[in-house]
A = this chain, B = another copy of it.
Amino acid sequence: MLRRVATRWHERAGVPVGPGDDMAVIEVGGARLLVAADPVIEGVHFEPGTHERRVAAKAVHRNCSDAAAMGAIPRATIMCVMLGQGCDQDAAERLLDALCDTADAAGCPSVGGDISVHDGPTTVAVTLIADPAGAEPVLRSRARAGDDLYVTGVLGGSMVDENGYIHHLDFSPRVAVGRALVEDASLRPNAMIDLSDGLARDLPRVLEASGGLGAEIELNRLPVREVVAGQDGWRRAIGDGEDYELLMSCSSAMPATIRGVRLTRIGRVVADGGLRYLTGDGRCFTEAELSGLGWEHGR
């Protein structure tokens, strides 16, 4: 249901870059700016009992990750906080303090919003305003056949508790990397997206938005988070989601690291044929064939 209504909604945009990219690009008062909004909902995006600092971090950082994917700089946040009935005053204050602290630290202070109590799960809907700051935003729709595909960091296992670090709550958005990519013309990707739903879902968005291209992913090149590495690590890397890493489509070779963050070439864009996965022994699978092998999306 969501897909159908979301598509219909998104087709309605009348702006330079509308819904469908990581952020919308609009013009107000002669300036271009980028806006996006994503909520975090108790029971959907975080478990009841999650520390307020982690809830706040995820609420702010998943929006900053969208700015990173456009090469833009987060500037301000506006928040609607809906507190569940079980949220007492101390918890509410901790959450709101944490939201302010996180937003301040991310360079996008909370400048307004609303706080309500409702008969539902605690929800924080954050709108982020970001600044292209002189650089053309990188869209997801400009990938070209022949591009190499790169990702930042490692993929998979975002829900695993690694001695207290749980990536989907504790990640750092790749804002500095995104910015470095647009500030140096030799590094600028043709297309970029942040990996929120997993490579297997997010890469097709790039291919589709870029006019129906295909791609080949070399499974043995995927940088897999150590805690889920192993024989089937690639399944986790393409399907777990919530990596909040950057996926980029580039015509030029990229360095091994940018701003201290590892970049890995994981495959290439081809003219057509959809998304295919290549194994180390030369076999090639579509996603449907992978599903036939028992693979399922992590979400």
Least CB separation from A3: chain B residue: B115
Q: Kindly state the interface size class of chain A when it binds its partner.
A: 35 or more
A23 on the interface (CB 8 Å rule)? yes
**Stretch binding the partner chain, chosen from A36-44, A181-189, A208-216, A273-281:** A36-44
Q: Specify how many copies of this chain sit in the oligomer.
A: 2
Q: A19-B112, A129-B26 are in contact. Are A93 and B5 (CB under 8 A)?
A: yes
A13 on the interface (CB 8 Å rule)? yes
A97 on the interface (CB 8 Å rule)? yes
Distance of A100 Cα from B23 Cα, bound (Å): 17
A78: chain B residues within 8 A (beta carbon): 24, 35-37, 127
A15 on the interface (CB 8 Å rule)? yes
Distance of A30 Cα from B133 Cα, bound (Å): 10
A75: chain B residues within 8 A (beta carbon): 26, 28
Least CB separation from A29: chain B residue: B31
A39: chain B residues within 8 A (beta carbon): 80, 82, 114, 116, 125
Cross-interface CB contact of A5 among B28, B36, B38, B89, cutoff 8 Å = B89
Inter-subunit contact A5/B92 (CB<8 Å): yes
Distance of A244 Cα from B192 Cα, bound (Å): 43
Distance of A131 Cα from B26 Cα, bound (Å): 12
Q: A33-B29, A35-B129, A129-B26 are in contact. Are A82 and B123 (CB under 8 A)?
A: yes
Inter-subunit contact B26/A76 (CB<8 Å): yes
Distance of A113 Cα from B35 Cα, bound (Å): 9
Closest beta carbon of chain B to A137's beta carbon, Å: 12
Inter-subunit contact B26/A100 (CB<8 Å): no
Inter-subunit contact B113/A5 (CB<8 Å): no
Which of A6, A99, A118, A133 has the most C-beta atoms of chain B within 10 angstroms of its own C-beta? Answer: A118
Inter-subunit contact A82/B31 (CB<8 Å): no
Contact residues, A117-149 vs B (CB, 8 A): 117-121, 123, 125, 127, 129, 131-133
Contacts A23-B112, A29-B131, A82-B123 known; 10 new A-B pairs at CB < 8 A: A6-B115, A8-B93, A29-B31, A30-B30, A37-B78, A37-B112, A41-B116, A41-B120, A82-B120, A119-B120
Cross-chain pairs A/B with CB under 8 angstroms, 30 sampled: A1-B89, A2-B117, A4-B89, A5-B92, A8-B97, A9-B97, A12-B109, A13-B109, A13-B111, A18-B112, A24-B111, A26-B76, A26-B129, A28-B31, A29-B33, A35-B76, A35-B78, A35-B111, A35-B112, A35-B127, A36-B113, A38-B114, A39-B82, A41-B82, A41-B118, A44-B116, A44-B118, A118-B120, A120-B120, A120-B121
